[in-house]
Amino acid sequence: MTYKIVSKKEICPNQYEITLEAPFVVRNAQAGQFIIFRAFEDSERVPLTIADVDKDNGLLTLVFMAVGYSTKQLASLNVGDELSDIVGPLGKPTEIKKYGTVVCLAGGYGAAPCYLIAKAFKEAGNKVYMIMGARNKDLIFWQDKMKNACDELFITTDDGTLGEKGFVTQVLERIIGQEKVDYAIAVGPMPMMRAVANLTRDKGIYTEASMNPIMVDGTGMCGACRLTVGGEVKFACVDGPDFDAHKIDFDEVINRTRIYKEQERKRDENCNLLKKG
């Protein structure tokens, strides 16, 4: 099976959208699920949430930021090149049903998987708000797609260069003050998802977070993606990635991720030194 790249573009600085031929992957793919790819045969396995699918043509769209060694390998490929392999769809899909009023909160490139999620909730008959947040206007993408996937789109930037200055939580709080919100889902950086959970915790709003901790095999065997939810150990790859945000031990996940990222930084430095000879 080949996974040929049919389109590639840099949608934000160092952030890419690629579309691949992957008919067997997209056949059963649903909103909220992810894949694991290897750019080359000797590459490490890297998870990415599914951003969009075209089931009629067997096309899979992924959005990623080229920050580590493996995502930089992926960014080096161009139209016509093929990925070594893709496994998926993995994880449980987001549970789509008619809640009433749904708010999707997307931070950074978490906006990509939020597109399919918002679209599915809207098709299920919900009133859907989308709140996209980023550090600045250069990191906001897919605005037109998002407008089509929801009833109303809000944008926030830390520096106020686009949309409202501030964070996604201040828009969420304003919406909650104006009408009844029945469900919220947050996709993005851990601190952002924790802030959303803290805001909705005492307001009777069921809230989920799409967790993206350290992940290796994607089948629950390695245990790298473990997290604590409601006092129980869960695995993001097979039990999630969506969990009740009010039950997640975010501090534990954030601390483990910080340690991993430091080790990853050192590994990338060593790889670059070896390349230079």
Structural domains in the chain, CATH included, are 3-90 (2.40.30.10), 101-210 (3.40.50.80), 214-277 (no CATH)
Between 43 and 122, the higher pLDDT residue: 122
Local structure of 83: helix, strand or coil: strand
pLDDT at 199 over 90: yes
Q: Has this prediction a pTM greater than 0.75?
A: yes
The DSSP bridge partners found for residue 208 are 185, 244
How many Cα atoms within 13 Å fall on the side-chain side of residue 243? 28
Average of pLDDT values for 135-149? 92
The DSSP bridge partners found for residue 16 are 10, 64
Yes or no: say if 150 and 118 are a contact pair by the CB < 8 Å rule.
yes
* Long-range pairs for 218-224: beta carbons < 8 A, 24 or more residues apart: 218/34, 218/36, 218/45, 218/47, 218/87, 218/90, 218/91, 219/90
pLDDT at 201 over 70: yes
Average of pLDDT values for 82-103? 93
Question: How high is the pLDDT of residue 222?
Answer: 78
Yes or no: say if 26 and 60 are a contact pair by the CB < 8 Å rule.
yes
What's the rounded Cα separation, in Å, for the pair 216 and 202?
35
- pLDDT tens sequence across 38-57: 888 888 888 889 999 999 99
CA-to-CA separations, 158 to 63, 133, 140, 231, in angstroms, rounded: 22, 8, 12, 34
pLDDT at 263 over 70: no
Report the percent of the chain where pLDDT is more than 90. 65
Per DSSP, which regions of the chain are E strands?
3-12, 15-21, 34-38, 46-49, 52-54, 59-65, 82-83, 85-90, 101-107, 127-134, 152-157, 164-165, 183-187, 206-210, 226-229, 232-235, 242-244
pLDDT at 170 over 90: yes
Q: Average model confidence (pLDDT) for the chain?
A: 89
pLDDT at 271 over 70: no
